[in-house]
Amino acid sequence: MAVELRMLQMDQTMTKGKIGKWLVKEGDTVTEGQPLLEIETDKVVHEQESPADGVIAQILPEEGSDVPVNALLAIIAAPGEEVERVEADTIPEPQEPDEPEPTTTKPTAPTKIQSQQTLPTAEYIKASPAAKQLAEKLTIDLTQVKASGPGGRILESDIHRYIETRGPTPTESTRLKASPLARRLAKEFGLDLTSISGSGPDGRIVRDDILQVADGMPDQVLRTEPAASEVVELSGIRKIIAERMTMSVQTNASVTLHTEVDATTLVELRGLFNEELEKREMSLTYTDLLVKIVAIALREHRLLNATLTDEGIHMLADINIGVAVALEDGLVVPVVRNADQIGLAAISEQVRTLAEKARNNQLTPGELQGGTFTLTNLGNFGVDAFTPIINPPECAILGVGRIVKKPVVHKDEIAIRTMLSLSLTFDHRVVDGAPAAQFLQTVSQYIQNPYLMLV
């Protein structure tokens, strides 16, 4: 019997994933647990595995497509089994209350998979992204185009064939013809394309036409916007990070508190620890120590270890600290679980292992889920203080700056002390300023007196 492969939800905030690469093709024989495709999320590139043995009967979304959670990705049939091809899952627009409820389709035979009922409009017609883009550009009704692709899918070639058969409309015949580069140059120089004669095929305006007109213009007339030397596509993990961070800023009532704390004793304690750990070829980083300190402080300030839902504020029982790890094309936040209950050596081992796996793109979805509070450290980059953005659905994040020696007043005398900058961003819908400041005070006290965390 045929088995459906659907988009998995890899964490509680994930709503969609991007199809990075299909590792199989239709007709391939696969085994249970075999990687079938790569899914890109804001946190990781994950290989989704086959749920059963069988043959790939149909692959639905193309590479590069954004697919919602639980959407149908592929159909795996038993050897020799014939399965009807289905259409990709659609998400219909919300209906007005006075509209009748959509009718349900009749069930089919057990070996056939029933596709969702779709509306006869261009929005729900099966078409490749290139075909949809061309149809929108030429204002072509997709319901009038005959499909030649697999499963009744409209291809870009079908659009061109439709235009040739129908002939150009008045709008298309009078449409200004210009190459993309010519349009961009005209915009940079502030030129009106309608006043320029094209020397390209069928009167198409090309690059040289724009430059010829621009050469005859006074320098002060030309626009001075700098041209892009390179355009980097906003896609993959970078695109999803942009979406999530924008969502965080727009939905959270974010407030950031900054403080500077004397970390002289913390630095000394780390040195003592590492003298002993060096014999075991181990070492503690400041991030390791801060993960433990933050975890202990969260036990005393539970509102900072919470999340806001439609039901209200959920006080979380576990204290799982996410540690931001920078990558070439973005960042990920693997999670150290129950950080308040494990020792410094275990925290150090987890942080080191998770960071290595992150940089090698080997993190599993489970290692990225369940964070309750995030720690992000830019001290190694010489940053004193910054304003971190909350990692949803958490309600707070602690930014750590560099550790630097400076003259300060210590015991009523000027002394050289090692100082550390902290920046706490919190969601004011969940936590008020005073409780957030008290949490920051507690973290500061543990940094000033790190021996207390060993008690």
Residue 405 pLDDT > 90, yes or no? yes
State pTM to two decimals.
Answer: 0.58
Residue 282: which pLDDT band, with cuts at 50, 70 and 90? confident
Q: Is 428 a catalytic residue?
A: yes
Reduced to 3 states (helix: H, G, I; strand: E, B; else coil), residue 34 is: coil
Percent share of the chain, pLDDT over 70: 84
**Average pLDDT for the chain:** 82
Sign of the CA dihedral with 262 first, then 267, 268, and 273 last: positive
List the structure tokens of 21: 């690469």
**Cα separations (Å) of 350 from 148, 164, 358?**
53, 62, 12
* pLDDT for res 304: 97
* pLDDT for res 116: 37
Model confidence pLDDT, tens digit, residues 173-219: 456 788 877 887 888 777 888 878 888 877 888 888 888 887 766 55
67/15 Cα distance (integer angstroms): 9
Q: Single out the catalytic residue among 141, 208, 329, 432.
A: 432
80/445 Cα distance (integer angstroms): 69
Model confidence pLDDT, tens digit, residues 132-157: 877 776 778 788 888 887 777 888 77
Question: Which comes out higher in pLDDT, residue 453 or 335?
Answer: 335
Q: List Cβ neighbours of 310 (8 Å cut-off, separation of 6 or more).
A: none
Q: Single out the catalytic residue among 141, 160, 329, 428.
A: 428
Model confidence pLDDT, tens digit, residues 339-351: 999 999 999 999 9
* pLDDT for res 229: 66
Q: Are the C-beta atoms of 39 and 45 separated by less than 8 Å?
A: yes
Residue 91: which pLDDT band, with cuts at 50, 70 and 90? very low
Average pLDDT in the 397-407 region?
96
Least confident of 30-34, 152-156, 356-360: 152-156
* pLDDT for res 89: 56
Angle at 261 between CA 445 and CA 273, to 5 degrees: 70
Helix (H) or strand (E) segment spanning residue 288: helix 286-300
* pLDDT for res 225: 56
Q: Is 258 a catalytic residue?
A: no
Specify whether the backbone of 273 is left (phi greater than 0), alpha (psi in -120 to 50) or beta. Answer: alpha
430/303 Cα distance (integer angstroms): 7
Angle at 424 between CA 272 and CA 438, to 5 degrees: 85
Question: Which comes out higher in pLDDT, residue 59 or 231?
Answer: 59
